[in-house]
């Protein structure tokens, strides 16, 4: 259903969605990756720039083999106020990973 909605309405398909989601669509014609996460950020979506290129996953641990080193974000961990609210930001407890913010979309061109 998501793919059919994207084909029909493009990026504006997000205005027609309700509930929780995190998905990626590769547009082969435009050579572009489209990422989106639900408005409240219930479904996780992590990403990282790695030596292999851009990687994304719904679980942080799926990115670990691609990162080279897995270092804790000690600044975030030390700050208790930020630690309990970081899920609403792009911060992540692993330094090389980033949480895709809620209610966002991004289009990434191949080679960009």
pLDDT tens digits, 21-65: 999 999 888 888 888 988 887 888 888 888 888 899 988 888 889
| Average pLDDT, rounded, for the chain | 79
Do 94 and 44 form a contact (C-beta atoms < 8 A)? no
Q: Which neighbouring-strand residues pair with 37?
A: 22, 104
Contact 107, 13 (CB under 8 A): no
Side by side, the strands of the sheet bearing 104-109 are 22-27, 32-37, 104-109
Q: Percent of the chain scored above 70 by pLDDT?
A: 70
pLDDT value of residue 83: 61
Query: Model's pTM, two decimal places?
Result: 0.70
Q: Where are the domains of the chain?
A: 2-109
Residue 101: φ, ψ to 5° = -65, 150
**Helix (H/G/I), strand (E/B), else coil: 76:** helix
């Amino acid at each position: 259903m998501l793919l059919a909605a994207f084909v029909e309405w493009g990026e504006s398909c997000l205005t027609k969605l309700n509930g929780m989601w995190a998905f990626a669509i590769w547009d082969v014609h435009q050579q572009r990756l489209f990422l989106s996460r639900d408005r409240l950020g219930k479904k996780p979506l992590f990403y990282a720039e790695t030596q292999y290129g851009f990687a994304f996953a719904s679980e942080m641990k799926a990115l670990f083999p691609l990162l080279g080193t897995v270092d804790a974000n000690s600044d975030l961990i030390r700050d208790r106020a930020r630690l309990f609210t970081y899920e609403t930001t792009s911060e992540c407890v692993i330094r090389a990973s980033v949480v895709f913010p809620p209610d966002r979309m991004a289009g990434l061109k191949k080679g960009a």
